[in-house]
A and B are shown apart, each in its own frame.
Chain A
Amino acid sequence: MPGSKCQCASQGELDPRWEQLEEILAAYKGDAGALIQVLHAAQDVFGYVSEEVQEKVAEALGVPISEVYGVATFYSLFSLKPRGQYKIGVCLGTACYVRGAAQVLAEIEKQLGVKVNDTTGDGKFTLEVTRCIGACGLAPVITINEDVYGRLQVDKVKEVLAKY
């Protein structure tokens, strides 16, 4: 996968995130069952799981890299490419869909000029759709990083995006 190499690697071992990764890996050394938990932790550090991260994880847990890749691609929450500073998740669960989430999604696409799973040119926003986040009472719901916006009407989209 060209382009998915972690850019920070060129700065060598100076990047403190690699040290963080080493700490995580040390805690789970040889524990193949912890693969998913380790990938979560690694993604928290880097924002995504690059090929190099996958290699290091494979080595530390003692599983083939093919299996790490298999797991990382099976679960939709793992991203293999870098994502924007703000991750927008539009819930397309049933409750949100029934209350007009598709229109909200279309409006965000229009405002940002990107399609689902794309990142804006300035690297600020990545647009994703999510499964039900369990806030169905507030449908339609979107998340931007840790913030949750409920009862989001199409005409409020602009206002919400402007906060970031």
Chain B
Amino acid sequence: MNFYRSHVLVCAGAGCVSSGCLNTMEALVDENAKLGLDREIKVIETGCIGTCDLGPVIVVYPEGVFYRNVTTDDAREIAREHLLKGRTIQRLLYRNPLTSQLVQTYGEMEFFNRQLRIALRNTGVINPEVIEEYIARDGYEALARVLTTMSPEEVVATVTASGLRGRGGAGFPTGKKWGFTFRAMSDQKYVVCNADEGDPGAFMDRSILEGDPHAIIEAMTIAGFAVGANQGYVYVRAEYPLAVKRLQLALDQARNYGFLGKNIFSTNFSFDILIRVGAGAFVCGEETALLASIEGKRGEPRPRPPYPAVKGLWGKPTLINNVETFANICPIILYGADWYGRIGTETSKGTKVFAVAGNINNTGLVEVPMGMTLRQVVYDVCGGIPNGKEFKAAQTGGPSGGCLTKAELDVAMDYETLIAAGSMMGSGGLIVMDEDACMVDMARFFLDFTQDESCGKCTPCRIGTKRMLEILDRMTKGEGREGDMEALYGLAENIRETSLCGLGQSAPNPVLSMIKHFRSEYEAHIREKRCPAGVCQALMSYNILANKCRGCGLCARVCPTAAIFGKPKEVYRIERKKCVKCNACLEKCPFGAVVRA
């Protein structure tokens, strides 16, 4: 075995791959070889480290120096300067956006040291394509312990005692669900992992599958033993090809090692897993629709009960859990339900992974104990809002959730508190919006999403959301009318109460929550035909300030519709009727004389 003086982690999560990390890594490996360092230094390709907007990212151990936005040239420089001569390259370090200080090591970054990583314990740490690295971090030990020392009842009892709740959105107690499926009588049962991750802006499931696929395989196998199933399915959305590839590779490796397949660990328990790839339908994240899709059918939901635990895939009892839910199982088995129960709040145990995106300094994945406040996540962990702008709102729960405003910055993020605050946990997407976001436009955006994704099976969802969308569309175009908000409320109530599945039942949520918190913005759109945030194009007009215009004529030249008139050296003016609000003149004017209101 070779001993290395230093290990260099290169993040190869999807974000960093898009940023070109594979070229960066190639350059690093190549330069190391040229310098003769390849026997002393090991370069490891890991899953998502979490700091997606800083990619490509490199961490040099044992020091733990964190380099960001590393180009191929930078990588060669790291090899020559840092790896060969031991000099940290200050230029490539991360700068704390709040204090402007350079951060020398990984451990000193608030982004990392405020986190508690259970579900993400291996993501960004090991090479997901090498099973031995997973095993070296206690991988498959939980499975061995379960199969050789525990009964199915004991496994169910442990998961129940941990207090773990489903991370896919609804927060249903996981142990209870396992118990239902265990007690269902049948000669055939199934375990399904929901990796459809439909909430736009959430990418934790993707990162776990790409960064630590064996954790899911091991947990599903444990679940199979606990409920009495011998076949598992992972339903992955087609938008995640890298996750599919790494999972497939991991499945093959696990079979080779005998962790999957017939007579696992020489016991009489057999279990195997197949991958099913989705085809672009949000509603397939809903469990009954997902099961229909695995069967090769249109992904339309059906009423529950019967719940999948009783009647699921091909009519057989089926346990269905989310990726992040499964990612918590092995640590619970290894360290015990008591340990897990000490993390988090009274009713929400453990940690939650949030995908923080939008107008935020550190976009990426963070895993924090349940009950951390929104302020701590946005400001302490994620470095606040960029460009000196103000925090306006954060959307949690995606298109089914609601928004939290400045007044709610100190609410604890757990299942119950978020619901009491008019939002929900959802799958953990957290979209931060600054003062430039228009809350009428955002409501329209979310409804446009649910409307488009409505499967069409039930009328309130198919037609009701369409009517709501039409009203919001009108508002953003300056055609809002008195009574529109009341009409939205009325429709919302009907849709909520009469839709067949969670998609419809929750579709009005963002609209209601945004009206509640930002009523004056809605009134401005309806009564004054004004968009206070300056987003809704149709409500904007352009003007040239006489005191700033120098009469250079640049604006008139870039105007695509010849809506700007004037003579050189005199003040130009814009003819409203012809203006198509393309913003070209505003961008072009060197004197800041064009203004938008």
Contact = CB atoms under 8 A, between A and B. Distances in A.
Nearest to A103: B583
A139 B240 CA distance: 16
A98 B18 contact: no
A138 B279 contact: no
Interface in B294-321: 294-300
Nearest to A147: B18
A26 interface: no
A75 B18 contact: no
Contact of A75 (B280, B359, B398, B445): B280
B437 interface: yes
Interface residues of B, number: 52
- Which among A40, A134, A138 has the highest number of chain B CB atoms within 10 Å? A134
B531 to A, nearest CB: 14
B201 A131 contact: no
Contacts of A133: 14, 239-240
B201 A95 contact: yes
Contact of A134 (B239, B276, B395): B239
19 contacts: A32-B296, A37-B276, A74-B281, A74-B298, A74-B455, A76-B281, A77-B280, A78-B279, A78-B280, A94-B431, A132-B202, A133-B14, A135-B15, A135-B203, A136-B200, A136-B355, A137-B55, A138-B19, A138-B52
A111 to B, nearest CB: 13
B279 A40 contact: yes
Interface string B33-60: 0000000000000000001110100000
A107 to B, nearest CB: 10
B277 A94 contact: no
B325 interface: no
B201 A136 contact: yes
Given A36-B279, A95-B200, A136-B357, 19 more contacts: A33-B296, A37-B277, A40-B277, A74-B299, A76-B279, A95-B358, A95-B363, A98-B431, A98-B437, A99-B359, A134-B239, A137-B51, A137-B52, A137-B363, A137-B364, A138-B363, A139-B358, A148-B17, A150-B18
A108 interface: no
A130 B281 CA distance: 11
B510 to A, nearest CB: 10
Contact of A137 (B15, B239, B278, B359): B15
Interface in A83-134: 92-95, 97-99, 130-134
A77 B357 contact: no
Interface residues of A, number: 38
Contacts of A74: 281, 298-300, 455
Contacts of B206: 134
A134 B296 contact: no
Nearest to A146: B241
The 7 A-B residue pairs with the shortest CB-CB distance, nearest first, are A137-B52, A93-B200, A75-B279, A132-B200, A95-B357, A77-B280, A35-B296
B280 A131 contact: yes
Contacts of A58: none
B426 to A, nearest CB: 12
Contacts of B278: 36, 75
B296 A94 contact: no
Given A98-B431, A137-B15, A138-B18, A71 B359 contact: no
B282 interface: yes
Contacts of B281: 74-76
Contacts of B431: 94-95, 98
Given A75-B281, A99-B358, A94 B398 contact: yes
Interface in B274-296: 276-282, 293-296
A101 B543 CA distance: 26
A25 interface: no
A139 B431 CA distance: 12
B433 interface: yes
Given A135-B14, A136-B52, A39 B279 contact: yes
A105 to B, nearest CB: 13
Contacts of B299: 74-75
A136 B199 CA distance: 11
Nearest to A143: B18
Given A76-B280, A150-B18, A98 B198 contact: no
A70 interface: yes
Contacts of A141: 18
B532 interface: no
A130 B359 CA distance: 21
Contacts of A160: none
Contacts of A93: 200-201
Contact of B358 (A70, A98, A150): A98
Given A36-B279, A77-B280, A98-B431, A71 B297 contact: yes
A161 interface: no
B429 A94 contact: yes
A132 B203 contact: yes
A35 B431 CA distance: 36
Contact of A94 (B15, B297, B445): B445
A34 interface: yes
Interface in B303-346: none
Given A76-B281, A98-B359, A132 B15 contact: no
A34 B296 contact: yes
A148 B13 CA distance: 13
B238 interface: yes
A58 to B, nearest CB: 12
B523 interface: no
B280 A94 contact: no
B31 interface: no
A26 B280 CA distance: 26
Contacts of B240: 133-134
- Which among B238, B298, B300, B395 has the highest number of chain A CB atoms within 10 Å? B298
Given A133-B239, A137-B363, A71 B358 contact: no
Contacts of A98: 357-359, 431, 433, 437
Interface in B408-459: 429, 431, 433, 437, 445-446, 455
A138 B17 CA distance: 11
Contacts of B295: 32-33
A131 B18 contact: no
Nearest to A78: B279
Contacts of B277: 36-37, 40
